[in-house]
Structure 1
Amino acid sequence: MPGEQRADAVAKIGDLAAGAGIRRVHVLSWRDLADVEAGGSEVHASEIARLWAEAGLEVTLRSSYAQGQPTTVQRDGYRVVRRAGRYMVFPRAVATEMLGRLGPRDGLVEYWNGMPFLSPLWERRPSVVVLHHVHGEMWRMVLGAETPALAKAGELLEGRIAPLAYRRSRIVTLSESSKADIVQQLGLRAANVDVVAPGVDARFSPGGERSASPLVVAVGRLVPVKRYDLLLAACAEARRTIGDLQLVIVGEGYERPALEERVRALDGDSWVRFAGFLRDHEVVDLYRRAWVVASASAREGWGMALTEAAACGTPAVATRIGGHEDAVRPGESGLLTDGTAAALGAGLAQVLSDTALRERLAAGALRRASELTW
């Protein structure tokens, strides 16, 4: 978005807030952007907080503690308060808000990321709930092996109990496909769910040179829902056709040891690299070098890595799921496949082996990304 248009858009946010009598907004989020396991939800929350602060609002974002980070900090014009662990953040954040310990607020934003803060039960000021996607089988993916009872409790809470609290709430989600899941699986009214697609930061742009050899890049937390084991198997399948394929995985998470073992089982030490956590400019450089960005996720609200890479002129090959179906325009900015190693591997091989197709998808990816602004 050009500078003048952006300034006008930011000013409009301030005018709308002033007209509604809202000056101080509190945001509840499970994790903060500085957390080593931060993902798309945290990027979204931080971008919204930054824009609102730029528009003149007083914004406080409350999250769980982030490893090695101070508990309170000012960032991009808004206050970040990081206290309590992964699970205790929910009751403690609610108690803090109810007791007014973070100061007065005129409105509240809750990021419902699996476990809810249940804000409709206690908040009486104007509020909105941001729900990127239904977690569904993610409860079993994360908790099922060791604590199946807890996984069932999570599914019950999200699917049956929490929707009763949110039945009158205004919900914001990122894509039409995610809205359909919310309506169908949680039973919330379609009229109460608004779709607002995420933007792409201006730092994601074309430049540099592509890798000399076919390079596939995947970005995201190393957790079960991302299905990196499936992506590894798909890349191994694609290497039957594209023998010099290289895969770089960006991100950290508790699944890394198991994934590293999987790489060894595939004899992939020579063609798979775990890059860990990278700084923003390093991610941009990697997107620009990649021939393809890939995702094997089982659930996504959108798939921000796919549109970030698209803004760098890199097409996507991803699983056909809610979120991806909106982030990627099949046949125009990338390919969507069934969630099997054979199908995903075939999609990767198709794009990597066909220069004309890859160039056409790259041009389409740039067009798609140009439509997305914060």
Structure 2
Amino acid sequence: MHVLFCNWRDTRNPEGGGSERYVESMARGLVAEGHRVTIACAAHGHAPPDEVVDGIRFVRRGTKLDIYLRTFLALLLGRYGKVDVVVDVQNGLPFFTRLATRKPVVVLVHHVHREQWPVVYPGLIGTIGWWIESRFAPVLYRHCQYVAVSIATKLELIELGVDGDRIAIIHNGNDPAPVAGVLRSPTPRICVVGRLVPHKQVEHAIDAVAAMAADHPDLVLDVIGAGWWDEELRAYAVARGVSDRVVFHGFVDGTRKHELLAQSWVMALPSLKEGWGIVVGEAGGHATPTVAYSTAGGTTESIDHKDTGLLVDTPSQLTAALRELIEDRELREFLGRGALAKSFTFSWESSQQAFSRVVTAAAAGRRPARIRA
């Protein structure tokens, strides 16, 4: 088959993250089975417009906004060649591919953006975006197969009117953590990993460091990632009086990321919403536990509360939990061992196999057997 993934970013994009890793992992799984795969995504300065990587053809055009229109028109006009199945990756907005092709469409959803629209796009734009995601898309794709990365995302889709029998759950996998070559820091370090955008709420981690500054003068926060909210976060650290304790690393390669995870005492994941939280498993591979919000959704599955990390409900509870792990070595190491064990639970191979079954069934015009991986 020729499978076309429509996604707004790829992993080489500085704003790429866990959702892009998921897409490209599923694509590599299909290539390994002999299928042709194309990923249509936005252009950026870190990769050429056209290239083939690991057997996957990347077609990068336009920006993160007009990529939707460009991809729709290219599919409608047949510019990707003969396509057998389309995977429409709905990161808030779908690509409306159901209107551009008669071929089977599989809708991939990492999480529902109910809480994010008013934060990232306050006002009319956010209202329209949420209407498209919550009202229009479920109707447009009412006969399509869905893939959700967590039970939490599936339940949210059902709330929007998507038939639960059409939603397969295929979790993120974990790669074995590479040997980082660094030791755990002798002084307390907290890390945050992800795109620097408002809904990741990195400010909450900065607040926690500010609250602990007097008691832990050697505490450092490592902020790992890039994004358009970078300058605002730097200014916020200055305003809170902890700019000397917050290190902004920007976009780093995989080796450096794992070094920072390995030396951290704990990872903070203050994100407003996560379909799964792939960074939880990456940190767990280094026996680094995570503190996250239970209301984020997928974190309730990627973290086992009080076994592999801690789940909290409010910013004050986030600060208290981070303080507890900084000050209680026995608890921190217990949760770290649990996080390490859990990191081996999910594999990309099993997820790839499940995704392939979904795509193959869609191409054949049938619904796959109940799938959860």
Q: Give yes or no for TM over 0.5.
A: yes
**Paired letter, 1:38:** G
Does the Cα contact within 8 Å between 2:73 and 2:100 map onto a contact in 1?
A: no
DSSP 3-state at the match of 1:222: coil
- Corresponding residue of 2:268: 294
Per-residue displacement from partner, 1:100-120 (whole Å, max 9, x unpaired)?
111112211111111111223
Where does residue 134 of structure 2 map in the other structure?
159
Decide whether the 8 Å contact of 2:290 with 2:310 is kept in 1. yes
What is the Cα deviation at residue 152 of structure 1? 1.1
Among residues 224, 230, 235, which one is paired with 1:261 in the alignment?
235
1:40-71 deviations in Å (ceiling 9; x for gaps): 11111111112221222111110011224210
Instruction: Write the letter of the residue equivalent to 2:152.
Output: S
> Are residue 85 (structure 1) and residue 63 (structure 2) matched?
yes
Q: Which residue among 220, 245, 269 is the counterpart of 1:271?
A: 245
1:98 aligned partner, one-letter code: L
1:338 aligns with 2:332: no
Is the 1:53–1:59 contact (alpha carbons within 8 Å) kept by the matching residues of 2? yes
Q: How far apart, in 1, do the equivalents of 2:28 and 2:73 lie?
A: 25
Q: CA deviation at 1:204?
A: 4.5
Matched residues in 1 for 2:27 and 2:76: separation?
Answer: 21
When residues 273 and 306 of structure 1 are mapped into structure 2, their CA distance, relative to the original with a 3 A threshold, is same
Q: Is the 8 A contact 2:43 2:62 kept in 1?
A: yes
User: Which residue of structure 2 aligns with residue 220 of structure 1?
Assistant: 194
Runs of 4+ in 1 over 3 A off after TM superposition: 203-208, 238-243
Instruction: Describe the superposition over 1:174-220 as per-residue Cα deviations: whole angstroms up to 9, x where unpaired.
Output: 11112112212x22122111111110123446763101111111110
Query: Take 2:270 and 2:226, find their aligned partners in 1: how far apart are those partners?
Result: 16
TM-score with structure 1 length normalisation? Answer: 0.89
Query: Is 1:33 matched with 2:11?
Result: yes
Q: Secondary structure at the match of 2:305?
A: coil
Which residues in structure 2 correspond to 1:62-141 (within 5 Å)? Answer: 62-141=40-119
Range with greater deviation from structure 2 (330-339 or 233-242)? 233-242
**1:124: Cα distance to partner?**
2.1
Give distance in 2, aligned partners of 1:172 and 1:339. Answer: 30
Structure-to-structure mapping, 1:236-247, within 5 angstroms: 236-247=210-221
Cα distance in 2, alignment partners of residues 205 and 331 from structure 1: 26
User: Residues of 1 paired with 2:215 and 2:166: CA distance?
Assistant: 48
The residue identity in structure 1 corresponding to 2:10 is D
Tell me, yes or no, if the aligned pair for 1:333 and 1:368 is still in contact at 8 Å. yes
Quote the offset at 1:319 in angstroms. 1.2
Give the distance between the partners of 1:334 and 1:213, measured in 2 at CA: 20
Query: Which residue in the other structure is 1:16 paired with?
Result: none
Indicate the percent of aligned positions where both proteins have the same amino acid: 33
> Partners in 1 of 2:180 and 2:334 — Cα distance?
15
**1:2-32 Cα deviation digits (max 9, x unpaired):** xxxxxxxxxxxxxxxxxxxxx2111110111
Tell me if the contact between 1:227 and 1:297 (Cα under 8 Å) persists in the aligned partners: yes
Among 192, 198, 203, the alignment partner of 2:172 is: 198
Aligned to 1:368: 342
- Structure 1 114/256 Cα, relative in aligned 2: closer, same or farther at 3 Å? same
Distance 1:78 1:65 in 2: 16
Provide the residue aligned with 1:48 in structure 2: 26
Does the 8 Å CA contact 1:210/1:288 hold for their aligned counterparts?
Answer: yes
Q: Distance in 1 between matches of 2:86 and 2:133?
A: 21
Amino acid at match of 1:345: T
Which residue is equivalent to 1:181? 156
1:285 match: 259
User: 1:298 is paired with a residue of what secondary structure?
Assistant: coil
Which shows bigger deviation, 247-256 or 84-93? 84-93
Cα offsets for 1:108-154 (capped at 9, x unmatched): 1111111111223333223311100001121111121xxx1111111
2:260 corresponds to which letter in structure 1?
L
Q: Is the Cα–Cα contact under 8 Å of residues 238 and 346 in structure 1 kept in the other structure?
A: no
The aligned counterpart of 2:208 is 234
Aligned length: 347
1:284 Cα deviation after fit: 0.9
Give the 3-state SS of the residue equivalent to 1:361 in structure 2: helix
Q: Are residues 347 and 164 of structure 1, via their aligned partners in 2, closer, same or farther at CA, if it must alter by over 3 Å? A: same
Q: Does the aligned pair in 2 maintain the 1:221–1:251 contact within 8 Å?
A: yes
Q: Which has the higher contact order (CA 8 A, sep 6+)?
A: 2
Structure 1 stretches of 5 or more lacking a match?
Answer: 1-22
Of 313, 318, 333 in structure 2, the residue corresponding to residue 359 of structure 1 is: 333
SS of residue in 1 equivalent to 2:231: helix
SS at match of 1:60: strand
Which residue number in structure 1 is paired with residue 304 of structure 2? 329
